[in-house]
Amino acid sequence: MFRDGKLSSYKISTAKLSHGKFMSENKQGDTQVEIIVPPNPLKSKVGVSGSGSLDFGPIERAEKALEQLSVEFDDWLSEEVDLLLLARDRVIEEGLTAETQAKLYLASHDLKGQAETYGYPLITRVCASLCKLLDTATQRSLIPAEIIDHHVNAVRNMMKYKMKSTKHPQGSAVTNKLIDVVLEFADFEDKKRAKLKLDQK
């Protein structure tokens, strides 16, 4: 409060806190000004214990829930891997027909889209490589069966041994080798297509 151009001294009495408001008093005890303290929405969201310290209970409970969810992610992804194995088994039994290739491609494509989200980026890369292999060949009969097997076996082992890091030594080495082989095959197929076009002219 200004008096005669000067701000008179006053104290804030915490005993007078009511509904987010402080009532200030001067030294004579006369109420002079009302200070409104706005509510703090963060305080209610974070949580404060009775001692006034931050309550980390909600965060700890959320972490435990995420751990449980991670287990469920592995279960869901394992089911998708099983579908890939079944599709590969059909290729072995019936050969690479239009139907078996489509089933294999669909299972691989689904894993490519889901694995990284579920914490398995290497599986995503391997399945992307398998999809490229199936997309690239000018004829189904030209797709090397052993390369398909190596891709599917890699996915199975990555799931089995929980190779979640892209820096996993064995997992990353196998992934890079499979990608290199498929790129080499794709390059060969591209050159063959170019030659066919030239021959047709």
Residue 74 in domain: no
Name beta bridge partners: 34: 23
Q: Which helix (H) or strand (E) segment is 10 a member of?
A: strand 10-12
Looking at residue 2, its pLDDT comes to 37
Which structural domain, as residue segments, surrounds residue 108? 79-188
Q: 3-state class of 34 per DSSP?
A: strand
Q: What is the per-residue pLDDT for 11?
A: 44
* Regions in the chain scoring below 50 on pLDDT: 1-25
Q: What is the pLDDT of residues 163-193, one digit of tens each?
A: 999 999 999 999 999 999 999 999 988 888 8
193 within domain boundaries: no
96: left (phi over 0), alpha (psi -120 to 50) or beta: beta
- Distance, in Å, from the CA atom of 156 to the CA atom of 37, rounded to the nearest integer, reads 60
Q: Which residue has the tokens 């972490």?
A: 63
Which pLDDT value is given to residue 4? 46
Please report the pLDDT score of residue 55 as a whole number.
65
How many independent structural domains does the chain possess? 1
Q: Is 132 a domain residue?
A: yes
Name the packing angle between helices 121-136 and 57-94 (round to 10°). 30
Beta bridge partners of 172: none
Is 31 a member of any domain?
no
Q: Residue 114: what pLDDT?
A: 93
Task: Indicate the burial class of 122 (C-beta count within 10 angstroms; 0-12, 13-18, 19 or more).
Answer: buried
Q: Say if 181 falls within a structural domain.
A: yes
3-state secondary structure of 138: coil
Task: For the beta carbon of residue 182, count every other beta carbon within 10 angstroms.
Answer: 23
Distances (CA, A) of 150 to 71, 79, 109, 191: 27, 19, 16, 24
Residue closest to 190 by CA, chosen among 136, 113, 149: 136
- CATH assignment at residue 158: 1.20.120
Residue 118 inside a domain? The answer is: yes
CB 155 within 8 A of CB 84: yes
25 found inside a domain:
no
- Enter the pTM of the model: 0.66
Is residue 23 assigned to a domain?
no
Phi-psi region of 4 (alpha: psi -120 to 50; beta: other; left: phi over 0): left
In angstroms, the CA 171 to CA 156 distance is 11
